[in-house]
Structure 1
Amino acid sequence: MLKECIYFNSVALSRLLEREQTVAFAPLGLTPTQALALDLILSTPGEVPARLAEELCVTPSTVSRVVDSLYRKGLIDRRQREEDAREWSIFPTDAGEKLAPAIDRAYLTISRVLHDKAGADLVHTAVANMRELRNALSDPSPIEKRSLRK
Structure 2
Amino acid sequence: MEKNEQQCNGPLECCLYFTANSLSRYINEMAEEAFAPTGLAPSYSYLMILVTNQPGLSQNELSHRMNLKPSTMTRFVEKLKQRELVYTNQEGRTVYVYPTEQGKKSRPVIDQALKRLYDKYCDVLGEDLAVKLTADIHNANQKLGK
TM over 0.5: yes
* Residue 71 (str. 1) matches residue 81 (str. 2): yes
User: Quick one: higher RCO (CA 8 Å, sep 6+), 1 or 2?
Assistant: 2
What TM-score comes out, normalization by structure 1 length?
0.88
2:18 corresponding residue in structure 1: 8
Q: For 1:112, give the aligned amino acid.
A: D
Once the two structures are superposed, what CA deviation does each residue of 1:6-53 show, in whole Å capped at 9, x if it has no partner?
Answer: 001100111111111111212211011100111110111001100000
SS in 2 for 1:4: coil
Q: 1:113 aligns with which of 116, 120, 124?
A: 120
2: distance between equivalents of 1:5 and 1:80?
A: 44
Offset of residue 86 of structure 1: 2.1
Which residue pairs with 1:133 in the alignment? 140
Structure 1 runs not aligned, ≥5 long = 140-150
Gaps of 5+ in 2: 1-10
- Residue 103 of structure 1 corresponds to 110
CA distance in structure 2 between the aligned counterparts of 1:113 and 1:52, rounded to whole angstroms = 27
Paired residues of 2:87 and 2:99 also in contact (CA < 8 A): yes
Aligned twin of 2:5: none
Report the identity percentage: 30
Q: Distance in 1 between matches of 2:80 and 2:31?
A: 17
| 1:91 aligned counterpart, secondary structure | strand
Provide the secondary structure at the position in 2 that maps to 1:66: helix
Q: Normalization by structure 2: what TM-score?
A: 0.90
Q: Does 1:57 align with 2:64?
A: no
* RMSD over equivalenced CA pairs, Å: 0.9
31, 35, 49: which one aligns with 1:25: 35
Please name the residue that 1:147 is paired with: none
Alignment partner, residue 90 of structure 1: 97
Aligned-partner SS, 1:19 = helix
Aligned length: 136
1:84-110 Cα offsets, whole Å, 9 max, x none, are x22221000011000111111100011
2:87/2:100 contact within 8 Å kept = yes
- Indicate whether 1:41 and 2:57 are aligned: no
- Contact 2:37/2:109 (8 A) holds in 1: no
